[in-house]
Protein backbone atom coordinates (compact mmCIF):
# COMPACT_ATOMS: atom_id res chain seq x y z
CA UNK A 1 0.00 0.00 0.00
CA UNK A 2 1.30 3.43 -0.97
CA UNK A 3 2.12 5.83 1.86
CA UNK A 4 0.06 9.02 1.61
CA UNK A 5 0.87 12.12 3.63
CA UNK A 6 -0.94 15.38 4.40
CA UNK A 7 0.38 18.64 3.02
CA UNK A 8 1.91 20.00 6.20
CA UNK A 9 3.06 23.42 4.99
CA UNK A 10 0.21 25.93 4.59
CA UNK A 11 2.11 27.85 1.90
CA UNK A 12 2.34 24.63 -0.11
CA UNK A 13 -1.43 24.21 0.24
CA UNK A 14 -1.83 27.73 -1.17
CA UNK A 15 0.56 26.89 -4.04
CA UNK A 16 -1.44 23.77 -4.92
CA UNK A 17 -4.67 25.80 -4.85
CA UNK A 18 -3.12 28.46 -7.10
CA UNK A 19 -1.73 25.87 -9.53
CA UNK A 20 -5.09 24.13 -9.86
CA UNK A 21 -7.09 27.36 -10.11
CA UNK A 22 -4.94 28.62 -12.98
CA UNK A 23 -5.53 25.43 -14.96
CA UNK A 24 -9.04 24.18 -14.29
CA UNK A 25 -11.83 25.46 -12.02
CA UNK A 26 -13.31 21.98 -11.47
CA UNK A 27 -9.97 20.57 -10.34
CA UNK A 28 -9.35 23.55 -8.08
CA UNK A 29 -12.79 23.09 -6.53
CA UNK A 30 -12.12 19.38 -5.95
CA UNK A 31 -9.05 20.25 -3.90
CA UNK A 32 -10.78 23.05 -1.99
CA UNK A 33 -13.74 20.83 -1.09
CA UNK A 34 -11.31 18.17 0.12
CA UNK A 35 -9.23 20.43 2.34
CA UNK A 36 -12.23 22.26 3.82
CA UNK A 37 -14.52 19.29 4.50
CA UNK A 38 -12.23 16.36 5.25
CA UNK A 39 -14.48 14.09 3.18
CA UNK A 40 -13.22 11.00 1.39
CA UNK A 41 -12.82 11.49 -2.34
CA UNK A 42 -15.63 9.01 -3.11
CA UNK A 43 -18.02 11.19 -1.10
CA UNK A 44 -16.74 14.41 -2.68
CA UNK A 45 -17.31 13.05 -6.18
CA UNK A 46 -20.94 12.20 -5.35
CA UNK A 47 -21.87 15.84 -4.58
CA UNK A 48 -24.57 17.31 -6.81
CA UNK A 49 -25.66 20.90 -7.31
CA UNK A 50 -28.84 20.21 -5.31
CA UNK A 51 -26.65 19.31 -2.31
CA UNK A 52 -25.20 22.84 -2.32
CA UNK A 53 -27.76 25.28 -3.61
CA UNK A 54 -29.56 27.23 -0.88
CA UNK A 55 -28.04 25.04 1.83
CA UNK A 56 -25.88 26.13 4.73
CA UNK A 57 -24.94 22.50 5.29
CA UNK A 58 -23.73 19.74 3.05
CA UNK A 59 -25.41 16.48 4.05
CA UNK A 60 -23.62 13.38 2.78
CA UNK A 61 -24.27 9.71 3.37
CA UNK A 62 -20.70 8.42 3.56
CA UNK A 63 -20.11 5.55 1.14
CA UNK A 64 -17.60 3.75 3.38
CA UNK A 65 -19.43 3.95 6.72
CA UNK A 66 -23.03 4.43 5.52
CA UNK A 67 -23.32 7.16 8.16
CA UNK A 68 -24.88 10.53 7.47
CA UNK A 69 -22.45 13.41 7.81
CA UNK A 70 -23.67 17.02 8.12
CA UNK A 71 -21.00 19.60 7.30
CA UNK A 72 -21.39 23.35 7.69
CA UNK A 73 -19.91 24.92 4.59
CA UNK A 74 -16.94 27.19 5.30
CA UNK A 75 -17.40 30.73 3.91
CA UNK A 76 -14.62 30.49 1.32
CA UNK A 77 -15.79 27.05 0.22
CA UNK A 78 -19.42 28.15 -0.08
CA UNK A 79 -18.40 31.14 -2.25
CA UNK A 80 -16.33 28.93 -4.55
CA UNK A 81 -19.10 26.34 -4.83
CA UNK A 82 -21.79 28.89 -5.63
CA UNK A 83 -19.55 30.49 -8.26
CA UNK A 84 -18.99 27.13 -9.96
CA UNK A 85 -22.61 25.93 -9.96
CA UNK A 86 -24.34 29.10 -11.14
CA UNK A 87 -24.88 27.72 -14.67
CA UNK A 88 -25.60 24.12 -13.69
CA UNK A 89 -28.87 22.28 -13.14
CA UNK A 90 -29.74 20.86 -9.71
CA UNK A 91 -29.41 17.21 -10.80
CA UNK A 92 -25.86 17.67 -12.15
CA UNK A 93 -22.71 16.50 -10.43
CA UNK A 94 -20.34 19.24 -9.32
CA UNK A 95 -17.28 17.33 -10.55
CA UNK A 96 -18.48 16.25 -13.96
CA UNK A 97 -16.47 14.07 -16.24
CA UNK A 98 -16.15 14.93 -19.88
CA UNK A 99 -17.03 11.30 -20.59
CA UNK A 100 -20.72 10.44 -20.61
CA UNK A 101 -23.68 12.54 -19.63
CA UNK A 102 -23.75 13.90 -16.07
CA UNK A 103 -21.22 11.49 -14.62
CA UNK A 104 -18.69 12.45 -11.97
CA UNK A 105 -14.97 12.11 -12.59
CA UNK A 106 -13.46 8.84 -11.40
CA UNK A 107 -11.26 8.35 -8.34
CA UNK A 108 -8.40 7.68 -10.75
CA UNK A 109 -8.96 11.04 -12.45
CA UNK A 110 -9.05 12.75 -9.04
CA UNK A 111 -5.76 11.04 -8.18
CA UNK A 112 -4.16 12.20 -11.44
CA UNK A 113 -5.29 15.79 -10.79
CA UNK A 114 -3.71 15.77 -7.33
CA UNK A 115 -0.57 13.98 -8.50
CA UNK A 116 0.06 16.56 -11.22
CA UNK A 117 -0.37 19.47 -8.80
CA UNK A 118 1.82 17.72 -6.21
CA UNK A 119 4.59 17.17 -8.73
CA UNK A 120 4.46 20.82 -9.69
CA UNK A 121 5.09 21.90 -6.07
CA UNK A 122 7.59 19.09 -5.44
CA UNK A 123 5.52 16.82 -3.20
CA UNK A 124 5.68 13.04 -3.06
CA UNK A 125 3.59 10.52 -1.10
CA UNK A 126 0.40 12.05 -2.46
CA UNK A 127 -2.94 10.36 -3.00
CA UNK A 128 -6.63 11.13 -2.85
CA UNK A 129 -6.54 10.86 0.96
CA UNK A 130 -4.01 13.72 1.02
CA UNK A 131 -6.87 16.24 1.03
CA UNK A 132 -8.58 14.57 3.98
CA UNK A 133 -5.30 14.18 5.85
CA UNK A 134 -4.37 17.81 5.16
CA UNK A 135 -7.70 18.93 6.61
CA UNK A 136 -7.14 16.80 9.73
CA UNK A 137 -3.50 17.75 10.15
CA UNK A 138 -4.14 21.50 10.11
CA UNK A 139 -7.30 21.27 12.21
CA UNK A 140 -5.44 19.24 14.83
CA UNK A 141 -2.47 21.62 14.87
CA UNK A 142 -4.73 24.63 15.35
CA UNK A 143 -6.98 23.06 18.05
CA UNK A 144 -5.08 20.06 19.52
CA UNK A 145 -8.57 18.53 19.89
CA UNK A 146 -7.94 14.93 18.94
CA UNK A 147 -11.24 13.69 20.41
CA UNK A 148 -13.38 15.84 18.11
CA UNK A 149 -11.19 15.05 15.11
CA UNK A 150 -11.45 11.33 15.89
CA UNK A 151 -15.25 11.64 15.98
CA UNK A 152 -15.26 13.69 12.78
CA UNK A 153 -13.23 11.00 10.98
CA UNK A 154 -15.19 8.13 12.60
CA UNK A 155 -11.95 6.57 13.84
CA UNK A 156 -11.89 4.01 16.64
CA UNK A 157 -9.10 5.59 18.68
CA UNK A 158 -7.14 8.82 19.08
CA UNK A 159 -3.96 6.92 18.20
CA UNK A 160 -5.48 5.87 14.88
CA UNK A 161 -6.39 9.48 14.10
CA UNK A 162 -2.92 10.77 15.02
CA UNK A 163 -1.30 8.12 12.83
CA UNK A 164 -3.74 8.83 9.99
CA UNK A 165 -2.97 12.58 9.88
CA UNK A 166 0.76 12.00 10.13
CA UNK A 167 1.32 13.36 13.62
CA UNK A 168 2.72 10.09 14.95
CA UNK A 169 5.30 9.85 12.16
CA UNK A 170 6.18 13.52 12.49
CA UNK A 171 6.75 13.06 16.23
CA UNK A 172 8.97 10.03 15.62
CA UNK A 173 10.98 11.92 13.00
CA UNK A 174 11.45 14.89 15.37
CA UNK A 175 12.48 12.53 18.13
CA UNK A 176 15.11 10.81 15.96
CA UNK A 177 16.58 14.17 14.87
CA UNK A 178 17.51 14.87 18.49
CA UNK A 179 20.24 12.25 18.43
CA UNK A 180 23.69 13.81 18.10
CA UNK A 181 27.06 12.10 18.29
Active site residues: 40, 64, 129, 132, 155, 164
> What would the DSSP string read from start to end of 76-102?
HHHHHHHHHHTTS-TTSBSSB-SSSSS
75, 32 Cβ separation under 8 angstroms: no
Residue 65: strand, helix, or coil: coil
Q: Which string of b and e fits 38-77 if b means at least 16 CB within 10 Å?
A: bbbbebbbbbbbebbeeeeebebeeeeeeeebebebeeeb
Residue 105: strand, helix, or coil: coil
106, 99 Cβ separation under 8 angstroms: no
96, 104 Cβ separation under 8 angstroms: yes
d(CA 152, CA 89): 31
Amino acid sequence: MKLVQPIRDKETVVEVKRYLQERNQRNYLLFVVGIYTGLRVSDILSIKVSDIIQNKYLVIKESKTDKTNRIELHGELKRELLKSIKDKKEHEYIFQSRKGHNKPISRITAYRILKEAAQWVGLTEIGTHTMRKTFGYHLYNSTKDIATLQKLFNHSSPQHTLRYIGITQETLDDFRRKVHY
